[in-house]
Amino acid sequence: MAEIIVEKEWTKEPAGRRIFGNFIESGFGRQVNGMWSEMLYNRAFRDVPAIKIATWEWLGLDKEHYNSNAPFWHSGYEENDWEVIGAPEREHTCGTHTYKGMTSLLLKNTNGSECGLSQKGIHLQKGKRYQFRIFAGVRGDMSEAGLNGFGDTIHSEKAELLTVKIGTQETSFALTTVPRLFTWEWEEACGGNAQIRLTFSFPGTLVLSFASLMPADNLGGWRADVVEKLKEAAPSVVRFPGGCFVSFYNWESSIGDRDRREPQPSFYWGGLEENDVGLDEFLQLSRLVGFEPQLCFNMMTSEPFKARQMVEYLNAPENVGMGRLRMQNGHKEPYGVRLFEMDNEPGRKWTACQYAEECVKFAREMRLADPDIELMMAAYTYSPELLPDMLEIAGKDIQYVIYRQGDPDFVHNILPVIREYNRKNGTDLKLVNTEWLPSCHSPEPFENPAMPQDFRWHGEVTNDYANIFGVQQISWNYALNGAHRLLDYISYGGEFALANFNNMCNTWGQNIIEATKETCYLSCMGQIFAMFARVFEPCTAAGTETGAENLFALAVKTVSGKEQLYIVNHSGAAVQTALPEGHWFLKDGLQGEGRMAHETEAESCIRRCTAGPDGNAIVVPGLSFLCLERG
């Protein structure tokens, strides 16, 4: 029989809810696209850059095997670009006849036969209302240099028809040589997986700036079902917009009218970021869901003054500088964003001391816009031995030190360095982890013997579904390891102030929600977040001994006076366990059906535990996560 013995030493400062943070990276893993209501891929008709090797290495799978046969696959990963109908000549404008960004698509019909564009994979729901918009026109006759240089358009009042068919629904728009916005709304009668077709038969050239298809029940552009699932998972803090994406990110291009923004290539990961979700949209999501925003900002390819302008846009009154621009963009009240992260993986450009010096420059400039912001320095890129030197340079200009190692041995070695700096300088720096992943280790073999028990990510591309990084990230085993790591974070107390799990949506199982094109559901890790949302309160903690190799427990005392005991059973077998003295009852609990089991849109592999303690003993189910409370 295992026995849980609580150690005598308790943390002094309570752990808070900020450790249940999350991370959205634009331009990566179908995250933003999965949560956003836009149903068209490449709505601005651009040439989409190829996915880069960094994505394939992170996924661990080659392009040929990234398809519906992959274990993590669902419709949310589909990217169906526009396909040409007929044989139109195709080119892009440059600088004129544009509305969204810098170019529009030209389709020239040379013979009067039907031509245009189509896109498959449009998932419609019966009885739901949809809104379609398109900004289009006809190219007029050109004088002198023509459309891509100097010269004028010779306009005509003659109207030409563009036919739009979505599933079984069809309408037509009368276009002229002055491109403009056309709208259409309908209630879907049939539902199902449909196709959109944009066709015309007139001789001449069609000008397409952008199109959009959204369900009418969207919440400012966000999917209503996604917002509900995020409320259930309840991330406390969310990091945005990168990650690697942020080091090439110009924040000012992400604000204002979405229909005018230029899509952005994802320079690191490849592909095209539609740029419909910028700062204002992200902050709207924070208010819809209830999380605190954490903005990671570009230092590597930007400059301190632009970072200052960003803070001013977010936090200044509506009559001050960039605050006035925010007001003109429809957001009068300041957002009051407090948390700012100083770029991502800065070792790609600077040494430790060079980066610390840059942090000082950016911090001092940004605080001219708002002295109350809190800044995070990315020390994880560099050897821990260099932290004292970095703190000597930047310690008084930051509030948090970031490391991505969350294991107890590392944290208990790095916290004394921060404590000593605080003691000498009268500061209150805290440790955070803004991008963490659980271990994929399993103490017992998986149901599939081809699965390695001690998988380590190597950044290699394979064609082996049984060995890719993404497979184990889906699993209940992975989620149990995630619950264990979150308990580690609680055990460090308030000196460990914040953590962002990586990621939020659709990154091959490494997420808290899965957003297919039809629905949204919690992943295994999302179920862990949701349980913590139900039971966690800020608390002090004490370690425990269990006497069982694969049984982990943590005792906590909440600030409201509750005594709780968290238990993770990593073993597939139930464990008879003796509890500390007192009357304990089951507050909440989850159990998975198998080590490699995972959630799908059709069914759940996780059930709520109902059997509680019997006196001072409990049978802890195999592959379970429990929260007990003393009555």
Give the residue-averaged pLDDT of 242-271.
Answer: 94
- Residues above pLDDT 90, as percent of the chain: 88
**pTM summary value:** 0.96
Range in 138-152, 193-207, 591-605 with the lowest mean pLDDT: 138-152
Give the residue-averaged pLDDT of 533-547.
Answer: 97
Residue 466 has pLDDT above 90, yes or no: no
* Distance separating alpha carbons of residues 387 and 390, to the nearest angstrom: 5
Contact (CB, 8 A) for 154 and 141 = yes
Query: Judging by beta carbons within 10 Å of its beta carbon (0-12, 13-18, 19+), is residue 221 exposed, middle or buried?
Result: middle
Give the residue-averaged pLDDT of 539-563.
Answer: 97
- From the options 3.20.20.480, 3.50.50.60, 3.90.1170.50, 3.20.20.80, give the CATH code of 17-77+218-439+452-539: 3.20.20.80
Residue 146 has pLDDT above 60, yes or no: no
Q: Is the dihedral of CA 405, 406, 412, 418 positive or negative?
A: positive
Predicted local distance difference test score (pLDDT) of residue 97: 72
Main-chain phi, psi angles of 111, to 5 degrees:
-130, 0
Residue 142 has pLDDT above 80, yes or no: no
Please give the CATH topology (third level) of the domain spanning 83-215.
Jelly Rolls (2.60.120)
Give the residue-averaged pLDDT of 144-171.
Answer: 80
pLDDT top residue among 622 and 148: 622
Where are the domain boundaries for CATH 2.60.120.260 in the chain? 83-215
pLDDT top residue among 75 and 99: 75
Q: Give the pLDDT confidence of 21-49 residue by residue, as tens digits.
A: 999 999 999 999 999 999 999 999 999 99
Structure-block tokens of residue 613? 């303690």
Predicted local distance difference test score (pLDDT) of residue 469: 65
Q: Give the pLDDT confidence of 566-617 residue by residue, as tens digits.
A: 999 999 999 999 999 999 999 999 999 999 999 999 999 999 999 899 989 9
Q: Average pLDDT, whole number, for the chain?
A: 95
Residue 95 has pLDDT above 80, yes or no: no
* Distance separating alpha carbons of residues 141 and 44, to the nearest angstrom: 24
* Distance separating alpha carbons of residues 33 and 28, to the nearest angstrom: 9
Predicted local distance difference test score (pLDDT) of residue 155: 77
Structure-block tokens of residue 389? 């030197």
Contact (CB, 8 A) for 284 and 220 = yes
Q: Give the pLDDT confidence of 232-254 residue by residue, as tens digits.
A: 999 999 999 999 999 999 999 99
Question: Quick one: pLDDT band at residue 221, thresholds 50, 70, 90?
Answer: very high
Where are the domain boundaries for CATH 3.20.20.80 in the chain? 17-77+218-439+452-539
Give the residue-averaged pLDDT of 372-397.
Answer: 98
- Cα–Cα–Cα angle for 221, 227, 233, nearest 5°? 150
Predicted local distance difference test score (pLDDT) of residue 332: 97
CA-wise closest residue to 236 among 286, 282, 288, 296:
286
Q: Give the pLDDT confidence of 322-362 residue by residue, as tens digits.
A: 999 999 999 999 999 999 999 999 999 999 999 999 999 99
Predicted local distance difference test score (pLDDT) of residue 449: 83
Predicted local distance difference test score (pLDDT) of residue 150: 55
Question: Quick one: pLDDT band at residue 153, thresholds 50, 70, 90?
Answer: confident
Residue 96 has pLDDT above 90, yes or no: no
Predicted local distance difference test score (pLDDT) of residue 140: 78
Predicted local distance difference test score (pLDDT) of residue 472: 80
Beta bridge partners of 539: 15, 558
SS3 string, 274-326, reads CCCCCHHHHHHHHHHHCCEEEEEECCCCCCHHHHHHHHHHHHCCCCCCHHHHH
